[in-house]
Amino acid sequence: MIGRHLLEVEDLGGAEGIEEVLRLTDSFVEVSERAIPKVPALRGRTVAWLFYEDSTRTRLSFETAAKRLSADTMNFSVGSSSVKKGESLRDTARTIEAMGIDAIVVRHASAGAPHRIAGWVDASVINAGDGWHQHPTQALLDCYTIRQHLGGIAGRHIAIIGDIKHSRVARSDVEAFTALGAEVTLVAPPTLLPPSLDGWPVRVSHDLDAVLPTVDVAYLLRMQRERMTEALLPSLREYTSTYGLTIRRAELLRPDAVVMHPGPMNRGVEIAADVADLPCSLILDQVRNGVAVRMAVLYLLLGAGTSLGATGPTDPSGSPETTQTRAEEATGE
Ligand code: ASP
């Protein structure tokens, strides 16, 4: 059962909690399609961003999500802040909180930074990516996108291909996909896999050509060169020739299989430029769904006061229907 925060996929409380967010997301997808895509659900609430690492999609979609829920937003840019003068993470977080905020969305290069902040402030903390560790809202939007296009996740075969070692997306996705009953195969050269896969409920392959005809989802990951401290590959060209989703390899996919990528893409490396734009590519759907999923998360943490798991502190029945009903009231459905 989740408390005030969303720090990792585990906080969602397993399949039931994930399903609850996905059901709520349906309501917010509908809001996003309205002529005026805005509801008053979080009027009077303030959400602040604390991004110590670059971001395009996550930051913009959290900001759009908060605005569509009528929350006030407080932007914090590390590059032009007192962090440059040596202010600590703790002092920075507590300074922002002193201005009166309800939630802080945090991205940090160090695994565990959002967890530390959650111990220092009373506001809700949402992890928007911490080092190699976790990126829970990415996992939620990926689950939502697969469910939307394939009708469900249970029993589906998902290959996660690329730099698994440095990927917080891979760690969060494996947890969420398998919690919902998918089979996951990691496809990567040995140097781009974590040193130990003990406890990972996955299969591993080094043969992309053999795996592609068996999958429902080919999920590509970028080389996270900003996290590589040693040379893990002979060359990018060699990586592409063995593990890149080229047009020739995309032809190995079943006709109903889909291609996904969390972005940013390095076209021509892990994914051929043309493959990213094929009809089977869901990459822009992932971005679109990211807004509605983050609306659902903000609403659950700040709006309803209920848990993201099956039961919640202010929702004695703990039933997802109760939360759904509240969301329907909030979205005017
Ligand atoms: N945008 C994703 C992340 O923040 C994936 C990536 O950067 O490659 O982890």
> Could you give all domains of the chain from N- to C-terminal order, each with its CATH number?
9-133+289-331 (3.40.50.1370), 136-285 (3.40.50.1370)
What's the predicted TM-score (pTM) here?
A: 0.91
For residue 317, what pLDDT is reported? Answer: 29
45 CB near ligand 1 (under 6 Å): no
**Three-state secondary structure readout of 165-192:** CCCHHHHHHHHHHHHCCCEEEEECCHHH
For residue 225, what pLDDT is reported? Answer: 81
135 CB near ligand 1 (under 6 Å): yes
161 CB near ligand 1 (under 6 Å): no
Q: How many residues does the chain have?
A: 333
Average pLDDT over residues 146-157: 98
For residue 81, what pLDDT is reported? Answer: 73
CA of 105 to the centre of ligand 1 (A): 16
**Is residue 7 scored above 90 in pLDDT?**
yes
The residue from 4, 5, 46, 58 that is catalytic is 58
172 Cβ contact partners less than 8 Å away, ≥ 6 residues apart? 8, 9, 134, 135, 136, 138, 139
Please report, rounded to a whole number, the percentage of residues in the chain having pLDDT higher than 70. Answer: 90
205 versus 4: the higher-pLDDT residue is: 205
Residue 263 CA: nearest ligand 1 atom is 1
222 CB near ligand 1 (under 6 Å): yes
Termini Cα distance of the chain: 28
For residue 328, what pLDDT is reported? Answer: 62
Q: Which of 126, 135, 140 most suits a substitution to test ligand 1, by most atoms within 8 Å of the C-beta?
A: 135
Q: Which of 141, 219, 222 most suits a substitution to test ligand 1, by most atoms within 8 Å of the C-beta?
A: 222
In angstroms, the CA 333 to CA 330 distance is: 8
Handedness of CA 277, 279, 283, 287 (dihedral sign): positive
* Structure confidence by residue, pLDDT tens digits, 90-111: 999 999 999 999 999 999 999 9
For residue 314, what pLDDT is reported? Answer: 33
